[in-house]
Amino acid sequence: MAYPVNKLNSMINKVGVMGDIHAEDKLLATAIQFLKSKNIPTLFSVGDIVDGLGNVDRCCDLLQENQIIAVQGNHERWLFNDYMRNLKHSTKLSELSTSSKQFLETLPQTYEFETILGKGLLCHGLGTYDMGRVPSNILKNQKKLEQLINQKYRIIINGHTHKKLVTQIKPLSIINAGTLKPKHGSGFIIIDFIKKKVTCYNITDDYSIIIKDIMRF
């Protein structure tokens, strides 16, 4: 299955974002179905698609079939570097279909987009630093944030920490999409750039979807 070319030809006003997926194919399908039912025009994934209890091949198929714009996380990097494969529920390259390998290997580290508020960046951590996290006092993260601000980004959409969060480091708004992993509060978000609102959703044990929180930026 060929990965679709994902290009946004115009400014986006609203986007649905899946946090770290970690092979949760059933929860991913639930999130996508809900977002499609709400007519959300653009869907993002912040990476970390592999390493979990579910079916990575199905996750890759769902992302491609629904033309979801995705970036690579540190777990994809580890997968192709044969690193940390002793992790519990780690994905092995030999387990994946040829299509999934190609899809995961060719994911970009970052993806730029335009909003009414200015230029945005989809990434896993902080820009190309996929282990970056906010808030943090780590010097490397601070330098990366300064670099991203200097590049005129006004919105960063990321994951990695598994915690839905909005952080303001003026003039930058950093929006973390959380994760689909059940033990970390399985869910996803919808960002409305016009209203400057993030609606956080959780998926319950019976696959119902509830609003968990609303955050402003």
Instruction: Give tens-digit pLDDT for 10-48.
Output: 899 999 999 999 999 999 999 999 999 999 999 999 999
Q: What is the mean pLDDT of residues 103-132?
A: 97
Please report which confidence band the pLDDT of residue 139 belongs to, taking 50, 70 and 90 as the band edges: low
Residues of the chain with pLDDT > 70: what percent?
A: 94
Position 33 scores a pLDDT of 98
pLDDT of residue 128: 95
Q: What's the confidence (pLDDT) of residue 38?
A: 97
For 44-87, the pLDDT digits (tens) are 999 999 999 999 999 999 999 999 999 999 999 999 999 999 99
Mean pLDDT value across residues 187-196: 98
Output the pLDDT for position 121. 98
Strand partners, 114: 119
Q: What is the pLDDT of residue 142?
A: 83
Residues 179, 73: Cα–Cα separation, whole Å = 12
Dihedrals phi, psi of 102, to nearest 5 degrees: -65, -45
Which pTM does this prediction carry?
A: 0.93
Per-residue pLDDT, 203:
98
How distant, in Å, are the alpha carbons of 18, 47, 109, 123 from that of 159?
9, 8, 13, 8
Q: How is the chain split into domains, by residue range?
A: 14-216
Q: How far, in Å, CA of 192 to CA of 26, rounded?
A: 26
Name the band, by pLDDT with cuts 50, 70 and 90, for residue 138. low
Quote the tokens at residue 171.
């003039």
pLDDT, mean of residues 108-132: 96
What CATH number was assigned to the domain covering residues 14-216? 3.60.21.10
Report residue 1's pLDDT band, with 50, 70 and 90 as the boundaries.
very low
